[in-house]
Amino acid sequence: MAAVPSIPEYYQDKCVFITGATGFMGKALLEKLLRSCPDIRRVYILIRPKKGKEVSQRLEELLNSKIFDNLVKVQPNYRDKVYPVTGDILHDNLGVCETDEKCLIRDVTVVFHSAATVKFDELMKLSVEMNVVGVSRVISFCKKLKNIQALLHVSTAYANCNQEKNVEEKIYEPPLHPNKIMDAVDWMDTDILDALTPKMIGDRPNTYTYTKSIAEYLVKEECANIPTAIFRPSIVGATWDDPVPGWVDNYNGPTGLLAAMGCGLLRIMKGDHHATADIIPVDFTSKMMIATAWYTAVHKPENMSVYHCTTGQINRFTWGEMEKLSFSYLMKNPVNTVARVPNPRFTKNGIWHDLNVVFDHLIPAYLMDFYMWILGKRPIFVKIQERLRKSVGSLDYFTTKEWNFTNAGLHKILHVMTPEDKKSFNFDPKIINWAEYMEAYCLGTKKFVMKEELDELPKARRTLKRLQRINMATNVVLIIVVWRLLINRVPIAKSLWNFLIGWAIKIFRHLPKTIKSS
């Protein structure tokens, strides 16, 4: 019996095809493949022209991302292995030209499909087109590949968030058969689809989780003859340490929350302090994706497998801990654009939440806009609050509930990896220190997303201290004003005040006698 190759040995001289390489997870996957599997022959990446930018421009932007800075030091010629394929999952045959198609059919052995729309509030038509029809097109293309050994379909751990508590590593029955939803989108008017969307998604929170669930069932039905694995990450956050701590490149998920908290604009949101914040660092997802494809190709599981890449059942972290740690590190390492002193809070109480939105979000926003107007500047804070409430509101479902995701697949893959592979591709959540992670995440949000230089921290700290003094003075003045109004208008308050003053005078009168007698 031949020895099982290690992960880098397996990928040696292999050609890989990635969809979604320009996305957050895709960038991390591409960088890790090139750095830790140095003998890989070629990585084909599907890229579409976007916003007036040609494929060559988008490729250049991708490879200029900060995550590739260390790679260029160890592999100066890594760009020679990256081959852009012009195409789009919204087009038949992925929109690939005949020449590129021939190369892919001849060369590719492993496919990572991660292209999708991850917008929670995406219109149903586009969500189905990308997350269901797009998957169908990728599968059809994979069936042409002569040497395919593994197809890894990236889903989400929340595809089945309508389950009461426990989510197993299996494919659940979809809310609607894939063929039915694809047929409906094909002929139904967009306005009618939008009107029907709430009824269609039922007990799911959005079109994203709804279409991801349907896509999984489509993969099950259509990939019987392709070695396939379904990969379900939970909430993907900044890197733990590979290649650098805290790398992140977008405002999605927790990153947007940290940025808004750091600016002092997000101060209250719905959430359960004791519920699990199932955040997984993006470098863990890339390492486990590479290992899962290797396991699928080398160990050849009899049945299509589902793998959860989650932390909640292995190294639990709660929203309450996130609140505490984010406050601590945002105060220690403030952002340059801090407008108010950070004070992030989660609450399950809807009434308390709404009151805080009015008095701690909206009223200050109007006051700050009024101040901007006086200075002759464009008012922005009310509009920011409106966008923020919409964005944060889409997360309420996930911050107020929790799920138990089983992790048998994760442990199964770790068990068969060599000691060397476990060093290079360690995705065991047990190694995460959440305090260290949150500090790196806050700094990464500041550095990589908000584009702020870390050598400006002393200035940002001085600004924060000044805001703290202003905040304290404002609170003192507000308390005095409110108390004076109460004294003048509420008899009980006035009586209480006179009683306290009289009691204080008596104590001061007797104080000298008490001191002399002692």
Residue 270 identity: K
- Asked if 342 contacts 323 with a C-beta cutoff of 8 angstroms, the reply is no
Q: Which residues are CB-neighbours of 124 under 8 A, at least 6 positions away?
A: 185, 193, 194, 196, 197, 200, 207
How confident is residue 186, by pLDDT bands cut at 50, 70 and 90? Answer: confident
Nearest Cα to Cα of residue 310 among 283, 287, 281? 281
Query: Angle 460-461-462 (CA atoms, 0-180°, nearest 5)?
Result: 90
Give the per-residue pLDDT at 372: 86
Report the relative pairing of strands 279-281 and 235-237 from DSSP bridges: parallel
Q: CA–CA separation, 508 vs 500, rounded Å? A: 12
Which pLDDT tens digit goes with each residue over 490-499?
A: 788 778 777 7
Listed by start position, the domains of the chain span: 7-248+276-317+400-432, 461-515
Q: Is the pLDDT of residue 130 over 90?
A: yes
Q: Which tokens hold the place of 391?
A: 């964005």
CA distance 448 to 74: 22
7-248+276-317+400-432 CATH: 3.40.50.720
Contact call for residues 444 and 335 (beta carbons, < 8 A): no
- At residue 143, the pLDDT reads 96
| Tens-digit pLDDT profile for residues 56-113 | 999 999 999 999 999 998 999 999 999 999 999 999 999 999 999 999 999 999 999 9
Residues 6+ positions from 434 with CB-CB distance below 8 Å: 315, 317, 321, 325
Task: Give the pLDDT mean for 259-281.
Answer: 94
**pLDDT number for residue 513:** 62
SS3 281: strand
pLDDT at 1: 45
- In this predicted model, what pLDDT tens digit does every residue of 209-224 receive, in sequence order? 999 999 999 999 999 8
Reduce the secondary structure of 392-441 to three states and give it as a string: HHCCHHHHCCCCEECCHHHHHHHHHCCHHHHHHCCCCHHHCCHHHHHHHH
Task: Evaluate whether 393 touches 357 at the Cβ level (below 8 Å).
Answer: no
The Cα–Cα gap between 413 and 493 comes to: 68
Residue 477 pLDDT more than 50? Answer: yes
Average pLDDT, the chain: 92
Q: Predicted confidence band at 485 (pLDDT cuts at 50, 70, 90)?
A: confident
- Residue from 300, 293, 280 nearest 37 by CA: 293
pLDDT at 518 exceeding the cut of 60: no
CA atoms in the 13 A half-sphere facing the CB of 446: 28
Residues 6 or more apart whose CB falls under 8 angstroms from that of 58 comprise: 22, 47, 49, 50
Quick check: 277 pLDDT over 90?
A: yes
Decide: 311 and 234 in contact? Cβ < 8 Å.
yes
What b/e readout covers 499-508, taking b as 16+ CB neighbours within 10 angstroms?
eeeeeeeeee
pLDDT tens, position by position, 318-374: 999 999 999 999 999 999 999 889 999 999 999 999 999 998 888 888 888 888 898
pTM for the whole thing? 0.91
